């Protein structure tokens, strides 16, 4: 029997959601008995080597490279999951959405309290990704099939979601997953 294939990536975020995946602890050994990882920081595979059943996206989109990777995942994954608040709503990186992009760039590269840039040079190289006008949640760029909330999501919530997706069961999150007291 072929194991379901899972791929993961991190866009504009802090990598905390991937840390929560690792926080499922000894259940991770059970997980690798159920699934195969492909194209993930977990196994360090850089490109897709086969069709992927479930793609997991951490982080939102703040530059052209994030958009490219997200679309690449959508094209190569049967199911796409937004993992965490950055992927779902932009998270902390989206705090810049209320400030004009030009002002953000000036603060970062010219006027920041620790900035030393006497030549007033702004990043301008064709190899650098183009910064977007705002940080976009993943579902505003591509179709997302499932959302797993949290900053980062709890390890047990990720375990339950991965278990359901790996076994082909419908993913239904408990109300407590969305309730914050």
CATH number at residue 77: 3.40.50.700
How many Cβ atoms are within 10 Å of 151's Cβ, its own excluded?
Answer: 16
User: Does 52 map to a domain?
Assistant: yes
- Per-residue pLDDT tens over the stretch 104-144: 999 999 999 999 999 999 888 899 999 999 999 999 999 99
In a domain, 102, yes or no: no
Q: What does the pLDDT read at residue 10? A: 95
Is residue 142 domain-resident? yes
12 neighbors 61 (Cβ within 8 angstroms): yes
End-to-end CA distance of the chain: 43
Q: Is the pTM of this model over 0.75?
A: yes
Q: Please indicate, yes or no, if residue 140 is contained in any of the structural domains.
A: yes
Domain of residue 69, residue span: 5-95+133-177
Q: Does residue 100 form part of some domain?
A: no
Report the DSSP beta bridge partners of residue 125.
none
Quick one: tokens of 5? 């294939």
What single DSSP character describes residue 140? G
């Amino acid at each position: 029997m072929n194991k379901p294939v899972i791929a993961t990536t991190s866009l504009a975020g802090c990598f905390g959601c991937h840390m929560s995946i690792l926080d499922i602890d000894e259940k991770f050994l059970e997980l690798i008995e159920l699934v195969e990882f492909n194209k993930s920081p977990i196994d360090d595979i850089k490109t897709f080597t086969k069709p992927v059943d479930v793609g997991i996206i951490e982080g939102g989109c703040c530059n052209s490279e994030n958009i490219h990777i997200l679309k690449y995942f959508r094209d190569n994954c049967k199911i796409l999951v937004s993992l965490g608040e950055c992927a779902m709503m932009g998270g902390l990186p989206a705090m810049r959405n209320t400030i004009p992009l030009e002002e953000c760039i000036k603060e970062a590269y010219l006027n920041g309290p620790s900035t030393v840039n006497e030549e007033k040079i702004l990043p301008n190289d064709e190899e650098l990704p183009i910064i977007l006008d705002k940080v976009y949640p993943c579902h505003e760029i591509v179709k997302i099939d499932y959302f797993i909330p949290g900053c980062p999501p709890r390890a047990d919530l990720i375990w339950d979601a991965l278990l359901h997706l790996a076994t082909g069961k419908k993913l239904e999150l408990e109300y407590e997953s969305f309730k914050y007291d």
